[in-house]
């Protein structure tokens, strides 16, 4: 029985640059054209939405409607623990609420202000200093569907 790999592909993949390399079994330089080639390969495998996270360089969002380079917002960073998870959670919440993955803004339109309060060094969430765990990012290939025998 033949299995259609595109049917088994996830709707969205949101790797960082290193995870993109692990998904496609080779390294990618952190340059938009190289990352776009990686996103195109994932689209060819049936993935509809590819959002490559680039840290302080922002991110690259690739869908069937086009490719968008998204700049990182300026921030005073104290600890990056959970930053990617928080970004992904907000993105998925917006998708679940029916928003499109990409909505263009005019150049004179300011970015939306969050209605949520953010914990900052001047407003910590607790009295404890940030901690670091020894956990490493899980191998993304473990989460991709595999062909059935």
Domain ranges for the chain, please list them.
5-103+113-122+130-143
pTM for this one?
Answer: 0.64
What superfamily does domain 5-103+113-122+130-143 belong to in CATH? Ribokinase (3.40.1190.20)
Instruction: Calculate Rg over the CA atoms of the chain.
Output: 17
Sequential pLDDT tens for the chain (149 residues): 455 555 678 889 999 999 999 999 999 999 999 999 999 999 999 999 999 999 889 999 999 888 999 888 888 888 888 888 888 888 888 888 888 887 766 555 555 554 444 444 444 444 444 444 444 555 555 555 555 44
| Residues pairing with 59 in the sheet | 53, 70
Structure-block tokens of residue 101: 């993955």
């Amino acid at each position: 029985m033949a299995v259609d790999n595109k049917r088994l592909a996830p709707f969205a993949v949101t790797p960082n640059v290193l995870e993109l390399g692990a998904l496609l079994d080779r390294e990618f330089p952190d340059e938009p054209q190289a990352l776009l080639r990686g996103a195109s390969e994932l689209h060819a495998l049936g993935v509809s939405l590819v959002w490559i996270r680039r840290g302080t360089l922002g991110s690259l969002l690739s869908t069937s409607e086009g490719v968008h380079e998204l700049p990182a917002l300026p921030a005073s960073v104290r600890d990056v623990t959970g930053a990617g998870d928080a970004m992904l959670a907000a993105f998925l919440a917006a998708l679940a609420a029916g928003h499109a993955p990409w909505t263009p803004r005019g150049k004179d339109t300011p970015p939306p202000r969050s209605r949520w309060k953010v914990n900052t060094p001047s407003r910590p969430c607790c009295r404890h200093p940030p901690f670091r765990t020894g956990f490493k990012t899980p191998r993304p290939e473990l989460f991709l569907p595999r062909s059935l025998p």
